[in-house]
Amino acid sequence: MFSEKVEYALRAVAYLASKPSGARTVEQIAVATKVSPTYLAKVIQKLVHAGIAKSQRGIGGGITLAKSATELTMLEVVNAVDPIRRIESCPLGLESHGVRLCPLHKRLDQAHALVEEAFRSTTLAEILSEPSDSQPLCDFPSGVQRQPLDTIAVEGVDR
């Protein structure tokens, strides 16, 4: 459902949020997130352009987040690299449908809306603090309180 760009962008911001002390190079991020440095550089360029990450050249430079993990939502990251596309009119171009979606496309758009809202209401900090039995790709920052998943309310999504 989501492109590699989205996956890689989310991995990169999760890594950066878990390493708040100092900038990281594209190569460091690529190794930690298991993404090709060449491709990751393009993804990070989009994150910088969207104001999610900052890039500093030179000695001591690198990539950092422009926002804190408590302010940065998953939707912002997704929209920076490959926005969720809502269905606003008949994708088949049928004049008889126009902006009145058929039941199939209406349901597909409703699904997109649920995902969009879930991502809008989920911060990177929530992702990093969620308890899990599996090892995360990125180490969690020390001192971060993990909030149980069942205490994070996402409207319109049953658990």
- Quick one: tokens of 151? 């205490």
153 — pLDDT class (breaks 50, 70, 90): very low
- Give the percent of the chain with pLDDT over 90: 52
Q: Looking at domain 4-132+139-151, which CATH architecture does it have?
A: Orthogonal Bundle (1.10)
Q: How many CB atoms lie within 10 A of CB 38?
A: 9
What does the domain layout of the chain look like in residue ranges?
4-132+139-151
Compute the distance between CA of residue 12 and CA of residue 18 in angstroms, rounded to an integer.
10
- pLDDT, one tens digit per residue, over 56-70 is 888 878 999 999 999
Whether 21 shows a pLDDT value over 60: the answer reads yes
Torsions phi, psi for 102 (to 5 deg): -70, 165
Q: Which residue has the higher pLDDT, 46 or 97?
A: 46
